[in-house]
Structure 1
Amino acid sequence: MDAVIIGAGFSGLYMLHKLRNEMGLRARVFETGEGVGGTWYWNRYPGARSDSDSYVYGFTFDRDLWESWDWSERYPESHEIRAYLEHVAERFDLYRDITFGTRVVSATFDEDAGSWTVTTDHGETVTATYVISAVGALSVANTPSFPGLEDFAGPTFHTGHWPHDGVDFAGTSVGMIGSGASAVQAVPLIAAQARELTVFQRTANYVVPANNGPVDPEVREARRQDWAGIRARIQRSNFGFELYMQEKGAADVSDEEREALLEDFWERGGFHIWLGAYADIFFSTEANDLVRRFLDRKIREKVHDPETAELLVPKDHPFGAKRNPLDSGYFETFNEPHVHLVDVRTNPIAAITPGGLRLSDGAEYAFDALVLATGFDAMTGPIDRIDLRGRDGRSLREKWAEGPRTYLGLMSHGFPNLFLITGPQSPSVLSNMPVSIEQHVDYIGRIIADLRARGAAVIEPTKEAEDAWCAYNQEIANATLFPTAATWYMGANIPGKPRVFLPNLDFVGPYRAKCDQIAANGWEGFAIDGESTPAGEHVYTWAVAG
């Protein structure tokens, strides 16, 4: 094959279309699941839905595709996203080159042949010039190693690997470990079924209203007609949304002005209050505290019991340093008499027992079913599962032992012709993912087309460009409040994982412009068949979109 693509979510489907349908190359996709969808194939827990507005949570590369699909709500549910991706696969005749139920276990670069040998868990071997990781950032579920977990007598479910035929909790007592985004979405719906629900919370999260519901038909039609405008705006934006930071900071306006804007954005719902409000909350503790006071008050207003409310008010991280979940009745659910919240930060889980769990102080809780809402080994986890070996047989897992090392989050030195779609050290999870995915797929297509036009065999970053990118990535992160929070952005949810900032803070529009300039300047920072162009200073200059 010309290319092997690993994964059949948003990234893999568009990459296959780009290489095969647009460029005429021979490409094959391997997908672990039995259908398309990527993370949405597995995440089917109650309430699972995107936190991006539906009109921008899709592809924009094809106007007819854009105009042919109608989303039913502001934020699409998991099943609707899967239906959309199935529609894409059918529309562009992608199924015939996707092998389902198959996991890539290894890929090894042959320096003499200038190609990769890819092996699957079925023992199949494929040789390809290019290997493209489309494994996603949130596709490896994190199951903490609680003592006794295997001894629990009832059924155990992980939100990241939910049974495809659903779960009926009617009349049962349910214990849920975790309080992140999947828990926020699932708690109200599980509580509506269960006889009793106990949530074991280690970290309280800032949760803002989704304000979900059907989109006004006139608004939907206006967006349908504005394909070119929306596409251009989200590509130039900071986060892949039509959201723009205020000119003044939270600390630069009066209390009355700040309160009015925050109240307006709270009512609008979505990420307005995070990505459309005050930029100084990402840099200044003083500014962040001003917004936190507003959010803390909102939590206390929603939750009737003062002790429960205080447990739900975050104390250990700035607002915005975590991707804040969207709320559809989460806080209010704790007003129900059969729903309980248990703090396991000060009193950790000691063990899972056959009938429930035991805390460090000896307190025991009994339940019939256990739900693990414990998140993912994000960004590097899905790549680490594959034994990738580059020049001299060196393992990528070994190279990344102290944290990911990439150039642009796209490639890694010593691993020629291996591309990472929205990999670590790219904007990726700090953006509306389909926008960043399209940009990376288009860029990879552009690189491969140029290599073929030159008659060149291989491309990889130079060590100097990669070292500088890694240092730059951490430098700009350290100028913000992001590293002050123990989040999966920092790898902090996985024991033993290096504490480095995993995404990139160049933001969508400026990062795109930087990539375009790199290409225009002869692929700065890359070596093509051993010939390289040093990366210019502009590559390591930080800016935000206007």
Structure 2
Amino acid sequence: MSQEVKIVDAVVIGAGFAGLYAIKRLRDAGFSVQAFEAGDGIGGTWYWNHYPGARVDLECWDYSYSFSSELQDEWEWSQRYPSAQELMAYLEHVADRFKLRQQIQFNTRVEAAEFIEADNLWLVRTSDGKTRKARFLVPATGGLSVPKPPEIPGIETFRGEAYHTGRWPRQEPTYEGKRIGVIGTGSSGVQVVHSLAGKCKHLTVFQRTAVFVVPAKNHPLTPEMRQRARATYAERRSLSRITRFGIPAPMANESALDATPEERRAKFENAWINSQLLGFRQCYGDILANDESNEMVAEFIRSKIREIVKDPETSRKLLPYGFPFGTKRPCLSDTYYSVFNRDDVSLVDLKSTPIVRIVPKGVETSEGLIELDMLIYATGYDAFTGALSHIDVRGVGGRKLSDKWAAGAKTYLGLVAQGFPNLFTVTGPGSPGPLANMAMSIEQHVDWIADCMTYLRANRITRIDADKGAEENWMQHVQDVVSRTLYEKANSWYRGANVPGKPQLFLPYLGGHGNYRKKCEEVAAAGYLGFVLTRETTATGMADKAASRIAAAGLAGGAV
């Protein structure tokens, strides 16, 4: 006799920042929760991405939970930008402090999820061979959690050690005495390079695209620094909730074109000296909207590269061209450019010297063989949609989510994909996602989801779906906003350009965290405007579909 499948209110996928908060928030709201995590521990993205030098590029005071003042006060951050290891320890503490582990089943991957229309339930199949039923499915799978393998022939033939930054081994490799090659110079590649330089026999950097790297100015935190931060936490968090990037740094309004060369130089120098990820973008309000203003910043950073890197030919190869500053995520490092002054570090510019193939002894380029003992692939991720696309998700009529997104991912508010009822994505396509503070965005998303589920329960509503028109209007709004900026001039992972065959569509919402939060609040306050709600009205299950009234201005309004 088959065992009856237990029904829970929500299945949460993932145990990183989003998954842990979803468990806590939903459990506190009185919902039964079962979470699944493919790894054997807490951490999500930080569990898998703990390569050399891995650390967050937002200050610890911002890239952390704000839901508990006690948690903020008791946790002792050691440095301005925490490492992956410290972030893992923080999340372990959160899981233990709020007793979240009992809801998580580790070493278990969600392989398929099917919406059962007759019951308004999700049937979830996992890698342990079991099946669960849930009223709601909450994938908290992260925007950068699925590594993108390199498209290089011969990778399987390499006889040395080979690793991808997005799936770093739990046992740290040894580097001393080895010839190491790093392919890719995005954020993870930059962090690996500045961390391994001087720790191995020779480091060869295979640069696909020269990137803008600004100083991190990372430093240890003193007790006085922590005390000052604790005293201003409430004000800091309150301001972060209304700003564009979800951090306490409002953007400037003036144009770089209206300043004198001396004024611009002074402001750029200050941003370089007191740098942070958004420092240069905060100098002037049109850095990401005006080509001429953007080029002023770009050329300033290029001038710094020329000053730092001694060899003129190497310096020339490191100068970023071909995309506006900020349209690909800038990297933070205090030493990246200076490592190329070392005799044991080499740069291979793949635009002029492309890789032909990987061979057993190393990398064969157009100029010959470079012998290596270790290869590190820092080739990025299948962003936004990768994690969900690797799960066989089927909605109304058995339609696959991967088929719905085949021409480009669509959601309403980055929260619900039409045709997939009772499925809430956390920081999904169409939300600010990585263009804002992810920790703040995660809390906003999960709070909205929990409040929505509470509303549905209180009003005996068994099903929520996005209206097709509302979804279309929202995604068009997302594209309209980006069209007024310079972002579309870059082939970035924001639009899926790094994954061969992936539809080219700008997926994050550029309207800003504060505007987005306001829009979500307005939608909820209007009885979930743009959603279709189904309420059980009789004991026999007769359903009444009540669609919230759709108003185009209500879906896409708000300042950018």
Mapped pair 1:31 → 2:46: no
Give a deviation string over 1:442-466, Cα, whole Å, max 9, x none: 0000100000010010101100000
Cα 1:517–1:322, aligned 2, differ >3 Å: closer, same or farther? same
For residue 138 of structure 2, give the secondary structure of its aligned residue in structure 1.
strand
Match of 2:95 in 1: 89
Q: CA offset at residue 508 of structure 1?
A: 0.6
Q: CA offset at residue 226 of structure 1?
A: 2.3
Mapped pair 1:489 → 2:494: yes
Give a deviation string over 1:409-446, Cα, whole Å, max 9, x none: 11010000000000011001001100000000000001
Mapped pair 1:118 → 2:134: no
Q: Is the 8 A contact 2:190 2:331 kept in 1?
A: yes
Distance 1:541 1:192 in 2: 53
Give a deviation string over 1:178-230, Cα, whole Å, max 9, x none: 01101111112211211111111110100110000013433321221223211
Distance 1:310 1:430 in 2: 29
Match of 2:510 in 1: 505
Cα 1:219–1:275, aligned 2, differ >3 Å: closer, same or farther? farther
Give a deviation string over 1:43-90, Cα, whole Å, max 9, x none: 111110000101111100111111110100000000100000000000
Q: Is the 8 A contact 1:179 1:205 kept in 2?
A: yes
Mapped pair 1:6 → 2:44: no
Give a deviation string over 1:126-173, Cα, whole Å, max 9, x none: 000000010000000111132110000101011111122212110111
Quick one: which of 546, 549, 556 aligns to 1:531? Answer: 546
- 1:345-494 matched pairs, under 5 angstroms: 345-359=351-365, 361-494=366-499
Which letter maps to 1:437? I
Match of 1:268 in 2: 274
Match of 1:60 in 2: 66
Distance 1:349 1:482 in 2: 28
Structure 1 gaps of 5+ residues are none
Match of 1:284 in 2: 290
Mapped pair 1:151 → 2:157: yes
Match of 1:515 in 2: 520
Cα 1:150–1:6, aligned 2, differ >3 Å: closer, same or farther? same
Give a deviation string over 1:483-540, Cα, whole Å, max 9, x none: 1101101111111111110111121111001111111111111111131221451431
Match of 1:324 in 2: 330
Distance 1:376 1:63 in 2: 34
Distance 1:215 1:248 in 2: 33
Q: Is the 8 A contact 2:194 2:335 kept in 1?
A: yes
Distance 2:555 2:82 in 1: 36
For residue 450 of structure 1, give the secondary structure of its aligned residue in structure 2.
helix
Q: Is the 8 A contact 1:185 1:328 kept in 2?
A: no
Distance 1:392 1:247 in 2: 49
Q: Is the 8 A contact 2:256 2:286 kept in 1?
A: yes
Structure 2 gaps of 5+ residues are 1-7, 535-544
Distance 2:257 2:174 in 1: 48
Distance 1:58 1:441 in 2: 15
Q: Is the 8 A contact 2:182 2:377 kept in 1?
A: yes
Give a deviation string over 1:94-146, Cα, whole Å, max 9, x none: 10110001100110000100100000112110000000010000000111132
Distance 1:334 1:47 in 2: 17
Distance 2:426 2:458 in 1: 22
Distance 2:252 2:304 in 1: 22
Which letter maps to 1:537? A
Distance 1:310 1:396 in 2: 45
Distance 2:489 2:9 in 1: 44
Q: Is the 8 A contact 1:72 1:214 kept in 2?
A: yes
Q: Is the 8 A contact 2:277 2:331 kept in 1?
A: no
Q: Is the 8 A contact 1:109 1:117 kept in 2?
A: yes
Distance 1:152 1:362 in 2: 19
Q: Is the 8 A contact 1:421 1:440 kept in 2?
A: yes
Which letter maps to 1:541? G
The list of structure 1 runs, each at least 4 consecutive aligned residues, that deviate by more than 3 angstroms after superposition, is none
Which letter maps to 1:95? R
- 1:240-255 matched pairs, under 5 angstroms: 240-255=246-261
Aligned-pair identity in percent equals 45
Match of 2:317 in 1: 311
Q: Is the 8 A contact 1:265 1:272 kept in 2?
A: no
TM-score normalised by L of structure 1: 0.98
Q: Is the 8 A contact 1:132 1:419 kept in 2?
A: yes
Distance 2:193 2:277 in 1: 21
Q: Is the 8 A contact 2:519 2:558 kept in 1?
A: no
- 1:218-257 matched pairs, under 5 angstroms: 218-257=224-263
Match of 1:188 in 2: 194
With 527-536 and 4-13 compared, the bigger mean Cα shift is at 527-536
Distance 2:402 2:309 in 1: 45
Q: Is the 8 A contact 1:251 1:290 kept in 2?
A: no
Distance 1:272 1:459 in 2: 37
Cα 1:95–1:457, aligned 2, differ >3 Å: closer, same or farther? same
Q: Say what the alpha-carbon RMSD is for the aligned residues.
A: 1.1
Q: CA offset at residue 328 of structure 1?
A: 2.6
Q: Is the 8 A contact 1:244 1:277 kept in 2?
A: no
Distance 1:279 1:311 in 2: 30
Which letter maps to 1:33? G
Give a deviation string over 1:349-387, Cα, whole Å, max 9, x none: 12100001112x352211111110111111111110111
Give a deviation string over 1:303-357, Cα, whole Å, max 9, x none: 1111111111111110010111101301000000110000112332121000011
Q: Is the 8 A contact 2:530 2:555 kept in 1?
A: no
Which letter maps to 1:531? A
Richer in helix (by share)? 1
Cα 1:499–1:346, aligned 2, differ >3 Å: closer, same or farther? farther
Aligned length: 542
Distance 1:166 1:250 in 2: 46
Quick one: which of 7, 10, 17 aligns to 2:24? Answer: 17
For residue 67 of structure 1, give the secondary structure of its aligned residue in structure 2.
helix
For residue 18 of structure 2, give the secondary structure of its aligned residue in structure 1.
helix
